[in-house]
Amino acid sequence: MLVIALVAIAGAGAFAVVASNRVKGSAAQTAAAYFDAWRRGNVSAMERLVFQPPADFSVRHRKLSDDLGVVSLQLTPGQLRSTGEQAAEVPFSGVRKLSELGDWPFDSVLRLAVRERAWKVLWAPETLHPLLKDGGTLALEEVETSAAELVTSEGDRIPNDSYADAYLEPLKPEFEQVNYGWTLVSKLPGRPATTLLRRDPEAKVERTTLSRSVQAAAARALDGTEDSTMIVIRPSTGEILALADRLGENYSAVRDVFPPGSVFKAITAAALIQGGLDPADQVGCPGTYTIPFHRPFGNDGEVDRGVVTFTDAFAFSCNTTFVEQATTRLTGQDLTRTANEWGFGRPIATGIGGTCGTVPETDELDMLGADAIGQGEVVSTPLCMAALAAAVQSGTWRSPRLLSEAQVRRIDGTPHADVQMDEGVVTALRDMMTATVDYGTASDAGLPEGAAGKTGTAEVEGETSHAWFIGYRDDLAFCVFVRHGGSGRSAAVPIAARFFNGL
């Protein structure tokens, strides 16, 4: 019996030793559980399967996902393979989807071993991603936003030497805040950074109303003429097709005002026609005219044309005619009211700002006479004069704009509403501006058939006069201005002729 008892005790002890040496689970089970927890983002469950996980195990996993903008993770384990009596590994592939860069595939290895009588994951940073080995880091970095590019209405680049940069460059910040780019960067101590993925910011392209061909023709027409500008508007829409500005001393063709000289006679003529003067009426055009008991005025060179039609007086730019008719038929209030109907006295919402000009009311006859021929206190921007020419061509005053209507409202506010002009006045002005080119002050200057316009020479005390020419042809209206350029016929009209020849 004693022998049997001893044998039984010995057998029980041997079983206890065998039982105590059993390994919990298997490598395959542990690997499957780890991958399942990783897919579900259960970092705590992953950590329990790791042998001696680092204190920041959870932090590392969550920080990598947060820093890189990981929105999903796919894991595909390979075949388990033994690497020793109590060691194994599982190669696997993965795809992290990054919110900014899309799918980012990687390959790694999950290593396992028996520790404390259980199969455990032997975790290292490279388990998370191979590039984290040896102190490597991964970072998502923002790519500096590229400058906005303003292009023509056709989507082309603005022509070189367009003389429009002073207006376009300040506009670019309005369109730079939208697009960003990103790069995924790997960094290893002592080595240059490596770009793994990259998404450049989409080019921020904003179409202006500028026409490539019209802008190029206007710019080339100004070549060789300092202190000059040419603005071209599409009368049917108000779009600025060309804005070529070579004005010196930081002057602006859309914001700075100058005496308009005889181009303002278009406004005075409109007021006189509204007041009952017919374009065919006979009027005097003496070399000089003195307002009774007031100051004298003279034509250029004091040329005496005798009695002419009002249309001819306009075509030949008779100062004396306009002074006499304005001071006998109009008040200062009449002239100001008509000017305001044609755009004066208001800001212009172009997308780059702008204004028209002013015609202050006057009760003084000498000042009214001077205002009637674009001298006195009358001032205007070249932009305003281009809009005036466009209104004559189309019959509607439209607020000129350089950007889309939506962008103009966003940047400059709501533009002034379209203004339908008096049909009889518009018809008369068209005939008078046509006569100016056919046989008046702009004749025989190389302008194409169908062009109409008005020249202007604005006197500047102590300095050379400003030269103006406004007009239109088909759906193109324009203003040419040469600061201190001399006469409109000699300095401004040739620029318009070069412009049309260059289209």
Residue from 167, 172, 170 nearest 150 by CA: 172
Distance CA 244, CA 154 (A): 18
Determine the pLDDT at residue 489: 98
CB–CB of 396/418 below 8 Å? yes
Residue 83, pLDDT above cutoff 90: yes
DSSP state, 355? B
Determine the pLDDT at residue 205: 83
- Residue 96: which H helix or E strand, with range? strand 87-98
Arithmetic mean of pLDDT, 75-101: 96
462: left (phi over 0), alpha (psi -120 to 50) or beta: left
Arithmetic mean of pLDDT, 281-288: 98
Determine the pLDDT at residue 177: 60
Beta strands, E only, 310-451: 357-358, 379-380, 396-397, 419-420
Determine the pLDDT at residue 180: 72
Give the contacts of 240 (CB within 8 A, at least 6 positions apart): 208, 209, 210, 231, 232, 233, 350, 400, 401, 402
Residue 122, pLDDT above cutoff 80: yes
Residue 5, pLDDT above cutoff 50: no
SS in 3 state form for 183-227? EEEEECCCCCCEEEEEECCCCCEEECCCCHHHHHHHHHHHCCCCC
DSSP state, 350? S
Distance CA 314, CA 259 (A): 18
Residue 326, pLDDT above cutoff 50: yes
pLDDT confidence band for 143 (50 / 70 / 90)? confident
Determine the pLDDT at residue 21: 58
Arithmetic mean of pLDDT, 262-273: 98
DSSP state, 148? P
Q: Percentage of the chain with pLDDT > 70?
A: 94
Q: Percentage of the chain with pLDDT > 90?
A: 89
Residue 56, pLDDT above cutoff 90: yes
Q: Which residues make beta-bridge pairs with 52?
A: none
Distance CA 339, CA 271 (A): 8
Residue 252 has which token pair? Answer: 């602006």
Residue 347, pLDDT above cutoff 70: yes
Determine the pLDDT at residue 34: 98
Residue, of 2 and 396, whose pLDDT is higher: 396
- Residue 390: which H helix or E strand, with range? helix 382-394
Task: Give the CA dihedral 65, 71, 76, 77, nearest 10 degrees.
Answer: 30
Residue, of 444 and 159, whose pLDDT is higher: 444
Determine the pLDDT at residue 179: 62
Arithmetic mean of pLDDT, 58-73: 95
Residue 27, pLDDT above cutoff 90: yes
Arithmetic mean of pLDDT, 463-489: 98
Determine the pLDDT at residue 178: 52
Arithmetic mean of pLDDT, 52-80: 96
Residue 16, pLDDT above cutoff 50: no
pLDDT confidence band for 149 (50 / 70 / 90)? confident
The per-residue pLDDT of the chain, averaged, comes to: 93
Determine the pLDDT at residue 22: 84
Distance CA 319, CA 296 (A): 11
pLDDT confidence band for 228 (50 / 70 / 90)? very high
Residue 7, pLDDT above cutoff 60: no
Of the CA atoms within 13 Å of residue 496, those in its CB half-sphere come to 37
Residue 112, pLDDT above cutoff 60: yes
pLDDT confidence band for 146 (50 / 70 / 90)? low
Task: Of 5-9, 124-128, 220-224, 267-271, give the lowest mean pLDDT range.
Answer: 5-9
Residue 488, pLDDT above cutoff 80: yes
Arithmetic mean of pLDDT, 83-95: 96
Determine the pLDDT at residue 204: 75
Determine the pLDDT at residue 173: 84
pLDDT confidence band for 292 (50 / 70 / 90)? very high
Determine the pLDDT at residue 200: 83
pLDDT confidence band for 491 (50 / 70 / 90)? very high
Determine the pLDDT at residue 8: 33
Distance CA 393, CA 342 (A): 13
Q: Mind listing the pLDDT tens digit for each residue in 395-436?
A: 999 999 999 999 999 999 999 999 999 999 999 999 999 999
Arithmetic mean of pLDDT, 209-238: 98
Distance CA 341, CA 326 (A): 17
Arithmetic mean of pLDDT, 263-290: 98
Residue 459, pLDDT above cutoff 50: yes
